[in-house]
Amino acid sequence: MILITGGLGFIGTHTTRTLLDLGESCLLVQRRPAVVPERFAGEAVVVEQADLTDESALLELGKRHEITGIVHLAGSMPWPPGAYEPLEGADKALRSLLNVFRAAGEWQVARVGVASTIGVYGGVTGQVAGEGALKEDVPLPMTAGHPIPAFKKIGELLGDHLAGTMGLDVVNYRIGAIWGPLGHAASPFFPAPQLVHAAARGTEPDLSTLRGGGRLGDGIDLCYAEDCGRAIALLQVAGRLGHRTYNVASGRLTTNEEVVAAIRKLVPDARADLPEGRDPAPAFWLDTTRLREDTGFEPAYDTERAVAGYLAWLRAGNER
- Average pLDDT score over residue span 200-227: 94
pLDDT band at residue 300 under the 50/70/90 scheme: very high
Residue 126: pLDDT over 60: no
- Average pLDDT score over residue span 70-86: 74
| In-domain check, residue 42 | yes
CATH number at residue 230: 3.40.50.720
Name the residue range of residue 271's domain. Answer: 180-222+252-287+300-315
Q: What does the pLDDT read at residue 125?
A: 59
Q: What does the pLDDT read at residue 281?
A: 80
| In-domain check, residue 283 | yes
| In-domain check, residue 295 | no
Q: Are residues 169 and 31 in the same domain?
A: yes
Give the lowest-confidence range in 44-58, 85-99, 151-165.
85-99
Q: Are residues 283 and 171 in the same domain?
A: no
Q: Are residues 107 and 152 in the same domain?
A: yes
Contacts of residue 11, defined as CB under 8 A and 6 or more positions apart, other chains included, come to 73, 115, 175, 178, 225, 228, 229, 232
Residue 129: pLDDT over 70: no
Q: Are residues 80 and 218 in the same domain?
A: no
Q: Are residues 35 and 92 in the same domain?
A: yes
Q: Are residues 81 and 196 in the same domain?
A: no
- Average pLDDT score over residue span 78-106: 84
Q: Are residues 31 and 142 in the same domain?
A: yes
pLDDT digits (tens, 9 = 90+) for 237-277: 999 999 999 999 999 999 999 999 999 999 999 999 999 99
Q: Are residues 135 and 15 in the same domain?
A: yes
Mean residue pLDDT across the chain: 92
Q: Are residues 131 and 258 in the same domain?
A: no
Q: What does the pLDDT read at residue 127?
A: 47
| In-domain check, residue 35 | yes
pLDDT band at residue 116 under the 50/70/90 scheme: very high
Return the higher-pLDDT residue of 93 and 250: 250
176: helix, coil or strand?
Answer: coil
pLDDT band at residue 319 under the 50/70/90 scheme: confident
Quote the percentage of the chain above a pLDDT of 90. 79
Contacts of residue 25, defined as CB under 8 A and 6 or more positions apart, other chains included, come to 1, 2, 44, 45, 46
- Average pLDDT score over residue span 283-297: 96
| In-domain check, residue 106 | yes
Q: What does the pLDDT read at residue 148?
A: 87
Picking from 25, 17, 8, 156, the residue whose alpha carbon sits closest to that of residue 73 is: 8
Give how far Cα 282 sits from Cα of 147, 175, 275, Å: 24, 20, 18
| In-domain check, residue 294 | no
Domain count, the chain: 2
Q: Are residues 14 and 142 in the same domain?
A: yes
Q: What does the pLDDT read at residue 35?
A: 86
Return the higher-pLDDT residue of 147 and 18: 18
Q: What does the pLDDT read at residue 79?
A: 54
Strand blocks (E) in 16-134? 26-30, 45-49, 69-72, 111-117, 132-134
The values of phi and psi at residue 175, to 5°, are -85, 130
Q: What does the pLDDT read at residue 82?
A: 62
Q: What does the pLDDT read at residue 81?
A: 57
Q: What does the pLDDT read at residue 15?
A: 98
| In-domain check, residue 194 | yes
Q: Are residues 34 and 163 in the same domain?
A: yes
- Average pLDDT score over residue span 214-218: 94
Residue 128: pLDDT over 60: no
| In-domain check, residue 320 | no
- Residue 222 and residue 211: Cα distance in Å, rounded? 17
Residue 115: pLDDT over 70: yes
Q: Are residues 166 and 22 in the same domain?
A: yes
Quote the percentage of the chain above a pLDDT of 70. 95
